[in-house]
Amino acid sequence: MAIAEGALASHAEAVPCHPLGVKPSGNALVATSNLRNAIGNFNLLADDVVLVLLEYLDAPSLLKLGRTCKALYAFTRSEDIWKTLLIRSSRGLVTWQGTWRATYLNLTPSQVPMINCATLFSDTLHRPFYCAHISLEPYTTGIPARNQISRLQDLSAEEFQDSWTDRPFILTELVKQWPVYQQWSTEDLVNKYNTTIFRAEAVDWPLNTYVDYMKHNADESPLYLFDRDFVSKMDIKVGHPSRVPEAAYWPPPCFGEDLFAVLESDRPDSRWLIIGPERSGSTFHKDPNATSAWNAVLRGSKYWIMFPSSSKLPPPPGVYVSADQSEVTSPLSIAEWLLGFHAEARRTPGCIEGICNEGEVLHVPSGWWHLVVNLEPSIAITQNFVPKAHLTAALDFLQNKADQVSGFRKNVTDPYNKFVERLKVRHPDLLENAIQDLEKRKEGRKRKWDEIVHGKVNGESTNGVGFSFGFGDGDSDIEVP
């Protein structure tokens, strides 16, 4: 505990003052005056409740309320409120003005007053600012040797298939051969695609607006550009240069054939261009439809922390899943998670960490949890795929977690059967083996269900003693047969 407090103290030193001077709540205990006393009946409400109420107001009402006193001014400056207003307004063309509020109101920085609210004490208002400024270094350095992700210069398809399909690793050389690695920088991209619209979470912005945002924002969880249609928008070609001479990049050959490719135009979304500033990233998740993925860093660098998953293992610290794993709650921002859970995660068996640098590509095995944070402004390309070794996992997911399947176009109403039909034609042997494995998984689940509910092993009563939550065969999660 002393270490955590010490670490916090050193972060605090690096964090500048809140722009309005707001301080953490604890300071109220020794303060002689408090701006909150002037907010009338609002004073009965907790700070986060005040913010929830403000979310119901439109911009003119927020501005009026903010003029009534300094404390409400500070509350109405909360960036989340203005971000929601701007996103709801679905304005495609905006001029980024440094904050969500200034952008919504189209105010230049010199038109935004800095009112001194130094005697307002609020964790709710101070915490996002604090989290947006903590140093990431204590979390991304000092990785224990046992947690270090493997780094390989090269890997053959055979080596991948034999030894690496369930292990994260970084390939250090391959991406350096890609034309996109040699040619793309943020400046080049802006020059070439400045008015091209890309998707960044809930907004569709021209690239030049997004790059302005990237360079001038102080968000705790910066908006992340994640575009699945970049290949057509940028008019680039993809494929191994032996077949596609003008290819801008090609999937690492070691991963072998992507079995979802048999679905052709019916395959689920599978590739994204990812651009984001320092501190942007992805909170803990597993990739969709039990796919594996590779993530290639063209500019910048990314810190990854990953955990294997199975029915026998709990989710990573700070991540909560419903019994059927359909709901994942990872309620914290990346910074909050680092502050609260990183130390415990680093000590947890199975934890894998590493930094994927410019020109490197990282393998995310099917089913692994991962959290990613950009250490610098970054540009990356990621693709999800189904390697031979995880065909059963993908079929199992499509068949038994139909409600969680994602990324298919609406007209693909039965992804499992469509996939099976195509595999029958293109890969009958692989399909046959996978269907046998699926049957074994089902048997395992049924056995386990009988043990739990009826206390039986092989038809014999065990009085419900001695079961564990693993199935041993493929290790998928428990489900009622």
Ligand X SMILES: O=C(O)CCC(=O)C(=O)O
Q: Which residues bind Fe ion (CB under 5 A)?
A: 287
Q: Return all residues near 408 (Cβ < 8 A) that are at least 6 apart.
A: 266, 268, 415
Among ligand X, Fe ion, none, residue 393 binds (CB under 5-8 Å by kind): none
Distance in Å, CB of 168 to ligand X, minimum: 12
- Decide: residue 6, CB within 10 A, 0-12 exposed, 13-18 middle, 19+ buried: exposed
Among Fe ion, ligand X, none, residue 361 binds (CB under 5-8 Å by kind): none
Among Fe ion, ligand X, none, residue 143 binds (CB under 5-8 Å by kind): none
Q: Return all residues near 292 (Cβ < 8 A) that are at least 6 apart.
A: 165, 255, 363, 364, 365, 366, 384, 385, 386, 387, 390
Q: Which helix (H) or strand (E) holds 139?
A: helix 137-140
What is the rounded CA–CA span in Å between residue 271 and residue 23? 43
CB closer to Fe ion out of 220 and 287: 287
Could you give phi then psi for residue 434, rounded to 5 degrees?
-65, -40
CB closer to Fe ion out of 287 and 396: 287
Distance in Å, CB of 52 to Fe ion, minimum: 30
Return the sign of the alpha-carbon dihedral for residues 397, 402, 406, 409.
Answer: positive
Q: Please name every residue paired with 342 in a beta bridge, in sequence order, or none if there are none.
A: none
CB closer to ligand X out of 186 and 382: 382
Distance in Å, CB of 372 to Fe ion, minimum: 7
CB closer to Fe ion out of 304 and 408: 304
Among Fe ion, ligand X, none, residue 206 binds (CB under 5-8 Å by kind): none
What is the rounded CA–CA span in Å between residue 451 and residue 449? 5
Return the sign of the alpha-carbon dihedral for residues 236, 238, 241, 242.
Answer: negative
CB closer to Fe ion out of 366 and 400: 366
Identify which of 354, 412, 356, 363 has the alpha carbon closest to the alpha carbon of residue 387. Answer: 363
Distance in Å, CB of 447 to Fe ion, minimum: 32
Distance in Å, CB of 223 to ligand X, minimum: 13
Return the sign of the alpha-carbon dihedral for residues 223, 228, 229, 235.
Answer: positive
Distance in Å, CB of 196 to Fe ion, minimum: 24
CB closer to ligand X out of 131 and 380: 380
CB closer to ligand X out of 292 and 400: 292
Tokens of residue 447, six digits? 């056995």
Among Fe ion, ligand X, none, residue 281 binds (CB under 5-8 Å by kind): ligand X
Strand 225-227 versus strand 271-276 pairing type: antiparallel
Distance in Å, CB of 304 to ligand X, minimum: 8
Q: Are 125 and 245 in contact (CB under 8 A)?
A: no
Among ligand X, Fe ion, none, residue 97 binds (CB under 5-8 Å by kind): none
Identify which of 437, 448, 436, 451 has the alpha carbon closest to the alpha carbon of residue 478. Answer: 448
Distance in Å, CB of 295 to ligand X, minimum: 5
Distance in Å, CB of 435 to ligand X, minimum: 28
Apex CA 99: angle with CA 96 and CA 102, to 5°?
75
Tokens of residue 240, six digits? 């191994």
Among Fe ion, ligand X, none, residue 388 binds (CB under 5-8 Å by kind): none
Q: Return all residues near 20 (Cβ < 8 A) that are at least 6 apart.
A: 73, 74, 77, 114, 115, 116, 117, 120
Tokens of residue 65, six digits? 């309320």
CB closer to ligand X out of 282 and 392: 282
Distance in Å, CB of 210 to ligand X, minimum: 15
Residues that bind ligand X (CB under 6 A): 272, 274, 281-282, 287, 293, 295, 302, 370, 372, 380, 382
Among Fe ion, ligand X, none, residue 363 binds (CB under 5-8 Å by kind): none
CB closer to ligand X out of 295 and 309: 295
Q: Sheet containing 361-364: which strands, arranged edge to edge? A: 150-152, 169-171, 361-364, 292-299, 378-385, 271-276, 225-227, 197-200, 203-206
Q: Return all residues near 149 (Cβ < 8 A) that are at least 6 apart.
A: 168, 169, 170, 304, 306, 352, 353, 354, 362
CB closer to ligand X out of 20 and 203: 203
Compute the residue count for the chain. Answer: 481
Among ligand X, Fe ion, none, residue 122 binds (CB under 5-8 Å by kind): none
Among Fe ion, ligand X, none, residue 302 binds (CB under 5-8 Å by kind): ligand X
Distance in Å, CB of 281 to ligand X, minimum: 5
CB closer to ligand X out of 130 and 369: 369
